Amino acid sequence: MDMDLILERLGVEEGVIRRFRQEKITPDIISLMSLYDFNCLGVNDKTTIMKLRVECVCYRSNQWAHNNDSTRCQVT
């Protein structure tokens, strides 16, 4: 799913969607963004930010996977 569609589905304003597009924000980096980052893009509502993070969690490119040692994780 495309970032624009996710934002539209959450009811985000067109101006904010445009800023996400201009900054090349993709679903896989949403979980790495801070509240400050979201505020700079025009998303100030914490509920919307959390919904956006939940929607984008399946797009993360750095999924953690357990190796044989259960106390350590590795990036796959």
pLDDT in tens, 19-72: 999 999 999 999 999 999 999 999 999 999 999 999 998 876 555 443 444 443
Q: Are 30 and 12 in contact (CB under 8 A)?
A: no
- Check: pTM over 0.75? Answer yes or no: no
Residues 43 and 15 sit within 8 Å (Cβ to Cβ): no
More confident residue, 76 or 41: 41
pLDDT-derived band of residue 5, with 50, 70 and 90 as boundaries?
Answer: very high
What integer is the mean pLDDT of 13-18? Answer: 96
* Domains of the chain in sequence order: 3-60 (1.10.150)
